[in-house]
């Protein structure tokens, strides 16, 4: 392939609800996008599955969809992959056939395994070695369930006949025609089987589940040689050169390359990550410690926290409460609300996440008066996301100061909800720190493109990528300190009442 012909990086963004492929040019602008929705399977209450075969076919279709209008494989310098994290696939090494539907990160079927291990006092070991908490979310117990419940799986795994992987591994295996069984350090760090200090699978934890090492993929850097696509797929071989789980890819797409740089993505839920540099911070606030990225053999760590309901609250206002017709209307409604309103919504519809971790808590509205109406409730719903972001940022700051690092001073945001200027300004006011919204909000796919592009020399190093990052709108705090403290104090009081603390 002649280097001058390679005008694009192809990013695959395999998400929970859809599979997308995007072409990025040298400037990091998305040039073309293809997308396919993904079928969700709910075989039992609390179970969520995807068909790994459907994911593969959709990936192939969206990638091929980009190779039109004169764009051919030779124009693609490399492929980058980003993916829904933790979702677990088990397949036959020889035939490439999955043994079972993929078990999706949201699936709670292994809650019993997790509470059993917790009762045995294993959670501190998990936290210490993997940075994670004992929760069905992560891949380890999902893989154990597959080995225990798919007939014949365990002896076949022991005989080296099976491959486990997160979605990145699965796609690379298929893209390379079954030649590579690999993953990257960020995806590995979400399995609960990977020791993030030693950067290797952890034999003690593998032992709890009788997981043979032969079933596990080789763990590579985020910028690395992940093999080449089988020539018959796209008409020529294309190197796969960059991989990261979705939230880590967004961290790269937001160019959070220095300790203290923090990004937060507001989709259905919200995921916030702060770069802690080469230092692994042990959280005292039940935040997750994870790999932000690993480049050139050097691991950069992050602290991560999530908000279960972010955009989902806006959907609730629209679909269950009927207070708005479209998500966009929430902005005008919040602006119309009485600014002196003291209404607080604690949106614990499915419990509260970090730093509270109260799965049994349930939502409540506080502070309503006779003239409270729809605008005040809409405002309280949006503001609850701001308050939870403040909770996360404060917890991260506390953990970082404890570790001798500087607390995050600003926040970079993306995701569907940040198109709402009222919300972002309110969050800025509640945080009392500047918030920046980038020009390219496709940060997840962009991060995958950057990782692949850095590996093949299409982009320079992280410094070049950081120079590419452009702010579309910078928000500065406008609220008086006293009001910020009063509002945040009311939120903390309301949370206490909800969790009975």
Question: What's the closest the beta carbon of residue 3 comes to ligand ADP, in angstroms?
Answer: 35
Query: Which residue from 6, 118, 4, 13 is spatially nearest to 446, judged by alpha carbons?
Result: 13
Instruction: Closer to ligand ADP by CB, 313 or 361: give it.
Output: 313
Dihedral of CA 309/310/314/315: which sign? negative
Question: What's the closest the beta carbon of residue 273 comes to ligand ADP, in angstroms?
Answer: 16
Q: Are strands 262-266 and 411-414 parallel, antiparallel or unpaired?
A: parallel
Instruction: Closer to ligand ADP by CB, 141 or 264: give it.
Output: 264
Residues that bind ligand ADP (CB under 6 A): 17, 267-268, 311-312, 314-315, 327-328, 330-331, 415-417, 419-420, 423
> What residue spans of 198-286 are helical by DSSP H?
203-209, 231-234, 246-253
- Are the beta carbons of 450 and 80 closer than 8 angstroms? yes
Question: What's the closest the beta carbon of residue 13 comes to ligand ADP, in angstroms?
Answer: 10
Reported in sequence order, the residue ranges of 45-142 that DSSP labels E, i.e. its strands, are: 49-50, 76-83, 89-92, 102-103
Question: What's the closest the beta carbon of residue 319 comes to ligand ADP, in angstroms?
Answer: 10
Instruction: Closer to ligand ADP by CB, 17 or 149: give it.
Output: 17
Question: What's the closest the beta carbon of residue 293 comes to ligand ADP, in angstroms?
Answer: 21
Can you read off the two tokens belonging to residue 395?
């917890």
Instruction: Closer to ligand ADP by CB, 17 or 406: give it.
Output: 17
- Identify the helix (H) or strand (E) that includes residue 164: strand 162-165
Question: What's the closest the beta carbon of residue 451 comes to ligand ADP, in angstroms?
Answer: 20
Query: Which residue from 464, 465, 470 is spatially nearest to 441, judged by alpha carbons?
Result: 470
| Three-state DSSP class for residue 346 | strand
Instruction: Closer to ligand ADP by CB, 71 or 106: give it.
Output: 106
Instruction: Closer to ligand ADP by CB, 148 or 328: give it.
Output: 328
Q: How many helices (H) and strands (E) does the chain have?
A: 17, 22
Can you read off the two tokens belonging to residue 367?
């502070």
Question: What's the closest the beta carbon of residue 314 comes to ligand ADP, in angstroms?
Answer: 4
Specify the long-range contacts of residues 26-33, CB closer than 8 Å, at least 24 apart.
26/458, 26/459, 27/468, 28/440, 28/446, 28/449, 28/450, 28/459, 28/465, 28/468, 29/440, 30/440, 30/442, 30/445, 30/446, 32/66, 32/71
Question: What's the closest the beta carbon of residue 167 comes to ligand ADP, in angstroms?
Answer: 15
Instruction: Closer to ligand ADP by CB, 276 or 386: give it.
Output: 386
Dist. CA 271–CA 248, nearest whole Å: 10
Instruction: Closer to ligand ADP by CB, 141 or 441: give it.
Output: 441
- Identify the helix (H) or strand (E) that includes residue 274: strand 270-277
């Amino acid at each position: 392939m002649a280097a001058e012909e390679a005008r694009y990086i192809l990013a695959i963004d395999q998400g929970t609800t859809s599979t997308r492929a995007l072409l990025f040019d040298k400037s990091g602008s998305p040039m073309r996008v293809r997308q396919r929705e993904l079928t969700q399977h709910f075989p039992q209450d609390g179970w969520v599955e995807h068909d790994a075969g459907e994911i593969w076919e959709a990936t192939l279709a969206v990638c091929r969809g980009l190779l039109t209008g004169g764009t051919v494989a030779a124009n693609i310098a490399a492929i980058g992959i980003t993916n829904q994290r933790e979702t677990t696939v088990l397949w036959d090494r020889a035939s490439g056939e999955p043994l079972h539907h993929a078990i999706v990160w949201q699936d709670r079927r292994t809650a019993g395994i997790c509470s059993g291990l917790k009762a045995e006092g294993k959670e501190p070991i998990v936290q210490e070695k993997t940075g994670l908490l004992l929760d069905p979310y992560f891949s380890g117990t999902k893989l154990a369930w597959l080995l225990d419940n798919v007939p014949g799986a365990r002896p076949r795994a022991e005989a080296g006949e099976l491959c486990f992987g997160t979605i990145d591994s699965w796609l690379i295996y298929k893209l390379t025609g079954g030649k590579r069984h690999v993953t990257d350090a960020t995806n590995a760090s979400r399995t609960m089987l990977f020791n993030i200090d030693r950067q290797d699978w952890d034999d003690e934890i593998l032992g709890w589940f009788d997981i043979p090492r032969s079933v596990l993929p080789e763990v590579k850097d985020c910028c690395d040689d992940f093999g080449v696509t089988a020539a018959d797929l796209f008409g020529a071989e294309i190197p796969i050169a960059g991989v990261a789980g979705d939230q880590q890819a967004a961290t790269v797409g937001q160019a959070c390359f220095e300790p203290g740089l923090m990004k937060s993505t507001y989709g259905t839920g919200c995921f916030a990550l702060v770069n802690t540099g080469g230092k692994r911070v042990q959280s005292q606030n039940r935040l997750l410690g994870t790999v932000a990225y690993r480049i050139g053999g050097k691991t950069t760590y992050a602290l991560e926290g999530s908000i279960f309901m972010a955009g989902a609250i806006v959907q609730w206002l629209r679909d269950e409460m009927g207070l708005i017709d479209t998500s966009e209307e929430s902005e005008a409604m919040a602006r119309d609300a009485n600014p002196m309103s003291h209404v607080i919504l604690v949106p614990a519809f499915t419990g509260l996440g970090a730093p509270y971790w109260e799965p049994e808590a349930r939502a409540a509205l506080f502070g309503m008066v006779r003239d409270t109406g729809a605008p005040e409730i809409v405002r309280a719903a949006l503001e609850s996301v701001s308050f939870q972001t403040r909770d996360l940022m404060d917890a991260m700051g506390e953990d970082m100061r404890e570790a001798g690092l500087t607390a995050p001073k600003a926040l970079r945001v993306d995701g569907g909800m940040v198109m709402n200027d009222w919300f972002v300004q309110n969050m800025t006011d509640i945080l009392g720190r500047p918030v920046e919204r980038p020009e390219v909000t496709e940060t997840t796919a962009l991060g995958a493109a950057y990782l692949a592009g850095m590996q093949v020399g299409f982009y320079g190093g992280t410094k070049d990528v950081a120079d590419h990052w452009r702010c579309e709108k910078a928000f500065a705090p406008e609220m008086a300190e006293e009001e910020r403290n009063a509002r945040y104090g009311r939120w903390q009081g309301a949370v206490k009442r909800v969790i009975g603390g």
